[in-house]
């Protein structure tokens, strides 16, 4: 028996009113119900089951859907929700075909960057991923049918390809994506903003190759608040902390409002590697951001 909680979740209140949430929920239930069985709704998550496969259960979070809806007029919400949720997420026969024949899978192979905290340990054990940026996961995916299909490590044997080679191919494919890059100056700071639907965050993984203009002699400060937005400051001198102070509020807005939120951490990108700017607490309880040790040494010459 269905158990539907229509109460606006506490962590949705920064996005929606109760009435807006009910509109989104009702449209989501109709869309998902076309291809699977609804079990329950609780705290913004729709849980489903497949009557034909008892172990085939899925959970749909409405937060990203809500963020997408808020970007368009309410009159377009029903069509948008149906586009994202109204068809089966997985065509098993098609997926198995790609996993058998790498020639067809190769142009579809990409990576996505997601928050480490969005996945449980069981999922991470099963999926093909690596950690390129602290507190995130870089997942291998196949990009087809307007969705990302995360790759199960147990199904990769027929490709007969080293995992590092697969990541290289996937990153090269991401580098071909259409990313909108804008250069601005703020308080005498050079800033590059990267915008796309899904690929701004993984585009950062090969920043020196994809956008060398955004990398200074001492590397770059990189923010990846969401999958579709990244903000970068090339470092030529002692400007990193001033840049972070100037931009952190905007980063927090992107994180709280965009689909696919990742985090608000500040990263130092140097020679292809990412390191977090250390954040410590003072005795008064205030948070203090400082330079990574290696960057500090470079600044001191």
pLDDT score at 118: 86
- How much helix, strand and coil, in percent to the nearest 5, is found in the chain? 40, 30, 30
pLDDT at 95 over 90: no
Model confidence over 174-198: pLDDT tens digits?
999 999 999 999 989 999 999 998 8
pLDDT score at 270: 98
Average the pLDDT over each of 62-71, 123-132, 151-160 and give the range with the smallest value.
62-71
Count other Cβ atoms within 10 Å, centred on residue 297: 10
Among residues 34, 35, 36, 60, the alpha carbon closest in space to that of 47 is found at: 60
d(CA 148, CA 136): 17
pLDDT score at 3: 84
d(CA 30, CA 18): 18
pLDDT score at 1: 42
Query: Is residue 250 left, alpha or beta, with left meaning phi > 0 and alpha meaning psi from -120 to 50?
Result: alpha
Read off the tokens for 186.
Answer: 């703020």
Mean pLDDT on 226-240: 96
Model confidence over 51-87: pLDDT tens digits?
555 455 677 888 888 888 988 999 999 999 998 888 7
Higher pLDDT pick, 11 / 255:
255
* DSSP assignment string, 63-106: HHHHHHHHTS-GGGHHHHHHHHHSS-S--HHHHHHHHH-HHHHG
pLDDT band of 259, cuts 50, 70, 90:
confident
Mean pLDDT on 141-154: 89
Among residues 255, 138, 236, the alpha carbon closest in space to that of 191 is found at: 236
Asked if 169 and 156 touch (Cβ cutoff 8 Å), the reply is no
- Average pLDDT of the residues of the chain: 90
d(CA 299, CA 236): 9
pLDDT score at 211: 97
Asked if 295 and 219 touch (Cβ cutoff 8 Å), the reply is yes
Model confidence over 9-67: pLDDT tens digits?
888 888 899 999 999 999 999 998 887 888 888 888 888 876 555 455 677 888 888 88
pTM: 0.79
* DSSP assignment string, 153-200: GGG-GGG---HHHHHHHHHHHHHTS--EEEEEEETTEEEEEEE-SS-H
Asked if 5 and 43 touch (Cβ cutoff 8 Å), the reply is yes
Percent of the chain at pLDDT > 90 equals 65
pLDDT band of 127, cuts 50, 70, 90:
very high
């Amino acid at each position: 028996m269905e158990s539907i909680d229509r109460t606006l979740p506490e962590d949705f209140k920064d996005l929606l009113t109760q009435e807006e949430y009910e509109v989104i929920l009702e449209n989501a239930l109709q869309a998902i119900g076309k291809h699977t069985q609804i079990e329950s709704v609780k705290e913004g998550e729709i849980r489903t089951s497949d009557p034909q496969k008892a172990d085939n259960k899925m959970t749909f979070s409405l937060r990203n859907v809500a963020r997408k809806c808020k970007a368009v007029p309410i009159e377009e919400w029903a069509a948008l929700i149906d586009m994202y949720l109204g068809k089966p997420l997985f065509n098993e026969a098609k997926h198995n075909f790609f996993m058998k024949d790498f020639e067809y899978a190769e142009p579809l192979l990409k990576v996505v960057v997601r928050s480490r905290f969005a996945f449980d340990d069981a999922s991470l054990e099963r999926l093909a991923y690596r950690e390129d940026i602290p507190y995130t996961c870089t997942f291998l995916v196949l990009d087809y049918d307007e969705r990302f299909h995360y790759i199960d490590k147990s199904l990769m044997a027929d490709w007969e390809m080293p995992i590092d080679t697969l990541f290289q191919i996937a990153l090269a494919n991401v580098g071909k994506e259409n990313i909108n890059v804008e250069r601005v100056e703020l308080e005498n700071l050079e800033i590059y903003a990267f915008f796309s639907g899904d690929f701004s965050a993984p585009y950062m993984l090969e920043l020196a190759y994809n956008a060398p203009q955004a990398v200074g002699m001492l590397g770059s400060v990189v923010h990846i608040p969401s999958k579709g937005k990244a903000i970068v400051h090339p470092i030529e001198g002692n400007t990193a902390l001033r840049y972070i102070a100037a931009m952190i509020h905007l980063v927090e807005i992107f994180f709280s409002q965009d689909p696919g939120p990742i985090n608000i951490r500040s990263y130092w990108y140097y020679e292809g590697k990412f390191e977090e700017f250390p954040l410590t607490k003072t005795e008064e309880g205030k948070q203090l951001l400082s330079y990574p040790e290696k960057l500090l040494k470079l600044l001191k010459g």
